Amino acid sequence: MLKQVTDSKNLNAIKVKSFSSIQSEIQSSNPIALSVDCVIFGFDENKLKVLLIRSDLKKYQDKWTLLGDLIRPEEDLDDAAYRILKQRTGLNDVYLEQVETFGKIKRHPAGRVITVAYYSLINVQHHKLNILDNELHWHDVENISEMAFDHQEIFNNCYARLQKRVQEHPLGFNLLPKKFSLRDLQNLYEAILGFKMDRRNFRKKFFSMDFLIDLEEIEQNVPHRPGKLYQFNYSKYEKKKKKWAGIDF
Amino acid sequence: MLKQVTDSKNLNAIKVKSFSSIQSEIQSSNPIALSVDCVIFGFDENKLKVLLIRSDLKKYQDKWTLLGDLIRPEEDLDDAAYRILKQRTGLNDVYLEQVETFGKIKRHPAGRVITVAYYSLINVQHHKLNILDNELHWHDVENISEMAFDHQEIFNNCYARLQKRVQEHPLGFNLLPKKFSLRDLQNLYEAILGFKMDRRNFRKKFFSMDFLIDLEEIEQNVPHRPGKLYQFNYSKYEKKKKKWAGIDF
DNA sequence: ATCGATTGCGTAAAAAATACACATTCTATT
DNA sequence: AATAGAATGTGTATTTTTTACGCAATCGAT
């Protein structure tokens, strides 16, 4: 509890590192610098969003970048990603997945920087507060304006990975509130995958998997017949996990 | 053509870097060193093999390691992996896929080394020559003795990735000769996936995908009825590529 | 009480995956 | 020349999964 508070204080004290400080860090000693970049996904108003910040490089001014930072010498890779997430969203327990490492020689104007890309899924209801940063904004994934560096490519690959992965593993739930309707779930999948699905078959699919707990509650404050609320049964899933077998391409 | 020859000569001149030289390179300037490690798969005598070399660290003597090297300051990530492949197998055009980056603080005894793991698929018929290196050997994937560092974990993840990927994309053919029988293909899949399949359904599956070119040739020197030989039709595949859509976990 | 919108449910048809058996073709042997 | 051994090549019935599609019930708003 106390730790929580301390963390929050630290969080407010964090300032975005300026370009020049990064540049000096990079050029001081190491020929190759290492960073992590996070594609932070959220789901709000039935749209898939990504958290971006305004670039602090003149060359890339008015362009958006992913949230990232140099990896500290005594820091695990994943921890660096978690640190960024904590800094930017205030959230500790988030779904995080490493996707790919980008290392083109000229990808960063400040010198040789190789970056490990992650994506993470957060429940937008849980943070709200810490977005009031300088230039931090949620962007519709369908509608992203120009990005700095190779961040568009990084984003594309992370998004593609999410699209693939969400069809094979139950991670979408990380983007939803704990209690959700089946309609919420379908909206989520449609937003992530970018196409509409048949409502009846979607329901059938999820009910037949039998990983949803019927909470015996219904939606509140909807201007129509309210739907039932569900929760994902992770422990049941862990036991029944499907092993993949089938050739198809 | 000339280039080819030159490369071969260079290859023979390459010596395995000693531990102490790596250590000094790492500790000289950079707080974090970067390497690539390659899980090189081959398919021989109906078994899936991986190319390993004996560790040159005392601490890990008698243990096997993946083939890897530090990334050069002016070298693209993928190029570093290709360089290793060229060095060790003499092959230029190999299937290569980045899998994951490993960065635990203590993973390497020489200091902080973050490594980008790749796997690659090579046709064992095409190299043979260059394995006559000091301690370079093909190992059955089912039967790997202790590995140094975190290389067992790296291997496991790369192998898992291959198993997954080979079911969704036509990469297995990189492990086969250009002309192969359907039996060869099935043996390959069984070796990679680790289970037996029904021969008739396997054939049906591949024929229905319609990506195999019937070469109108048959196997030679088999002690039984020879099978027909086929080739994979990459250009047709590229046009018809399947887009994945279906939720299942 | 009615309208509008959405939920909840079931069935028929098509497609894909699985299980399973026998005749054919070639090599090697007698 | 005949035969045995071994693997190839093919087809069908069954089950499972996916897709397409329609209607009654429920709730809020008017």
CB contact under 8 A, A34 and B29: no
Distance from CA of A249 to the nearest CA of B (A): 5
Contacts of B102 in chain A (CB under 8 A): 77
Q: What's the average model confidence in pLDDT over B106-124? A: 95
Q: Which of residues 141-200 of A touch B (CB under 8 A)?
A: 164, 166-170, 189, 193, 195
Nearest to A112 among B73, B189, B242 (CB): B73
Q: Give me the pLDDT at residue B133, please.
A: 65
Q: Which of residues 123-152 of A touch B (CB under 8 A)?
A: none
Tokens of B241: 């590529």
Tokens of B182: 């359907």
Residue B73 in contact with partner chain A when CB distance is under 8 A:
yes
- One DSSP character per residue, chain B reads -HHHHHHHHHHHH--PPPHHHHHHHHHHS-SSEEEEEEEEEEEETTEEEEEEEE---STTTT-EE-EEEEPPTT--HHHHHHHHHHHHH--SS-EEEEEEEE--TTSSTTS-EEEEEEEEE--GGGT-GGG-SSSEEEEEGGG---BSTTHHHHHHHHHHHHHHHHTTSTTGGGGS-SSEEHHHHHHHHHHHHSS---HHHHHHHHHHHT-EEEEEEE-SS-SSPPPEEEEE-HHHHHHH-PPP-----
B 164-193: CB within 7 Å of strand D: 181-183
pLDDT, averaged across chain B: 87
- C-alpha A228 chain-centroid distance: 27
Q: How many cross-chain Cβ pairs, A to B, lie less than 8 Å apart? A: 104
pLDDT at B181 over 80: yes
A102: phi then psi, degrees, rounded to nearest 5: -110, 130
CB contact under 8 A, A205 and B247: yes
Q: b vs e for B70-90, b when ≥16 Cβ sit within 10 Å of the residue's Cβ?
A: bbeeebbbbbbbbbbbbbbbb
> Do the beta carbons of residue B116 and residue B127 sit within 8 Å?
no
Ramachandran assignment for B212, one of left (phi > 0), alpha (psi -120 to 50 degrees), beta (any other): beta
A230 three-state secondary structure: strand
List all residues 6 or more positions away from B91 whose beta carbon is below 8 Å from its beta carbon.
B85, B122, B126, B127
Q: Give me the pLDDT at residue B77, please.
A: 98
> Do the beta carbons of residue A229 and residue A179 sit within 8 Å?
yes
Distance from CA of A209 to the nearest CA of B (A): 8
CB contact under 8 A, B74 and A105: yes
> Do the beta carbons of residue A6 and residue A86 sit within 8 Å?
no
> Do the beta carbons of residue A43 and residue A129 sit within 8 Å?
no
Q: Which residues pair with A54 in a beta bridge?
A: A64
Give, rounded to a whole angstrom, the gap between the first and last alpha carbons of chain B.
50
Q: Give me the pLDDT at residue B7, please.
A: 37
Q: Give me the pLDDT at residue B248, please.
A: 83
Protein CA B229 to sugar C1' D4 (Å): 26
Q: Give me the pLDDT at residue B240, please.
A: 87
Residue B114 in contact with partner chain A when CB distance is under 8 A:
yes
> Do the beta carbons of residue B100 and residue B157 sit within 8 Å?
yes
CB contact under 8 A, A104 and B164: no
> Do the beta carbons of residue A123 and residue A177 sit within 8 Å?
yes
Q: Give me the pLDDT at residue A31, please.
A: 82
pLDDT at B1 over 50: no
CB contact under 8 A, A169 and B103: no
D11 C1' closest Cα residue = B200
| Nearest nucleotide relative to B247: CA against C1' | D18
pLDDT at B170 over 60: yes
Q: In what order do the strands lie in the sheet with B212-218?
A: B180-181, B228-232, B212-218
Residue with tokens 């990079």: A26
Footprint of strand C on the protein (CB under 7 A): A 181-183, 199-201, 203-204, 218, 224-228, 245-246, 248; B 198-201, 204-205, 218, 222-226
Nearest Cα neighbor of A53 from A144, A123, A162 is: A144
Contacts of A29 in chain B (CB under 8 A): 29-31
pLDDT tens digit string along B198-211?
999 999 999 999 99
Q: How far apart are CA A192 and CA A118, in angstroms?
A: 17
pLDDT tens digit string along A107-164?
999 899 999 999 999 999 887 666 666 689 999 999 998 999 999 999 999 999 999 9
List all residues 6 or more positions away from A225 whose beta carbon is below 8 Å from its beta carbon.
none
Contacts of A206 in chain B (CB under 8 A): 247
Protein CA B145 to sugar C1' C8 (Å): 57
Q: Give me the pLDDT at residue A3, please.
A: 33
Tokens of A85: 């997430």
Q: Give me the pLDDT at residue B192, please.
A: 97
Q: Give me the pLDDT at residue B135, please.
A: 84
> Do the beta carbons of residue B119 and residue B39 sit within 8 Å?
yes
Q: Give me the pLDDT at residue A129, please.
A: 61
Q: How far apart are CA A37 and CA A65, in angstroms?
A: 9
Tokens of A144: 């992203």
Contacts of B31 in chain A (CB under 8 A): 29-30, 73
pLDDT at B171 over 70: yes
A14: phi then psi, degrees, rounded to nearest 5: -70, 130
CB contact under 8 A, B114 and A74: no
Q: Which residues of chain A have pLDDT under 50?
A: 1-20, 22, 26-28
Q: Give me the pLDDT at residue A5, please.
A: 33
pLDDT at B242 over 80: no
Nearest to B31 among A30, A104, A193 (CB): A30
A146: phi then psi, degrees, rounded to nearest 5: -50, 140
